[in-house]
Amino acid sequence: MHLARAFFDRDTVTVARSLLGQRLVRVLDGERLSGLIAETEAYGGPDDEASHARRRTPRSAIMYGPPGLAYVYFVYGMYFCLNAVTESDGQPGAVLIRALVPQEGIATLRARRGGASLREVANGPGKLCLALGITRALNGVDLTAGSELFLEEGCEVLPEQVVATPRIGVRGNEAARSRPWRFAWHRTPPDRCV
C-alpha cells in the first residue's frame, strides 16, 4: 500500500525519521526493485543554509510542494539524488533518501551497480539511484500514487534503533552544519518485514 500524502504533509524532520523502515519501490522494465530506507536527511527552507530551498529557484521550486512528490537532482556532475517533498503546499522541505537495504530484484540491483556486494549496492544516495535507475526523468513523480516510483509501508523502526547526527557534507553556517537532521537505522535492518 502506497504511503498517503498525509504522511509527507508534516514537519520535514518528523518525516525524515518516519521514512526509516519504509519501502522504496521502483518498477523498471516491468521488474519490481525495492529496499527498506535505512538512512535519510532532512532539508528545510530559507532558514536552512544547507537546503536548495534557501532560495526559491526553478530547481528548488518543487520543494515548495505539494508534499509527496519526488525531487530528483544531479550532483557533482555524476550522481542523481532522490528526495521526498514534505510540509504543506507552499512551505518548503524535502528528505534526501541516503541508503536502502535491498529487498526485491537483488540480482538486477547488483548488476546495475557493476556486481557490487549486497551491502554496497545502495548504501549512498547516488548508489541507490544508480541501482534503481532513478534519473531526473522521475523528478516530480507522485510518490503516493506513482506506478514507476513510489513508497510503501515497510517495517517499524524502534526509537532505540535510530541514530541522529549532523548531515553529511553540507555547506552553510554553523546551524546548517550542526543540525542533527540525518537519521540512520543503526541496527542491521531485516531483509524482510515481519
pLDDT digits (tens, 9 = 90+) for 87-138: 999 999 999 999 999 999 999 999 999 999 999 999 999 999 999 999 999 9
> How far is the C-alpha of 118 from the C-alpha of 123, rounded, in Å?
9
Q: Model confidence at 77, in pLDDT bands (50, 70, 90)?
A: confident
Using pLDDT thresholds of 50, 70 and 90, give the confidence band for residue 78.
Answer: confident
User: What radius of gyration do the chain's Cα atoms show?
Assistant: 15
> Has residue 43 got a pLDDT over 70?
yes
Assign 171 to helix, strand or coil. Answer: coil
Residue 194 confidence (pLDDT): 54
Distance CA 141, CA 64 (A): 15
Contact 70, 140 (CB under 8 A): yes
Cell 519490481 belongs to 32
Q: Which fold has domain 5-149+157-185?
A: 3-methyladenine DNA Glycosylase; Chain A (3.10.300)
Model-level pTM?
0.95
Per-residue pLDDT, averaged over 17-21, amounts to: 97
Q: Any idea where the domains of the chain sit in the sequence? A: 5-149+157-185
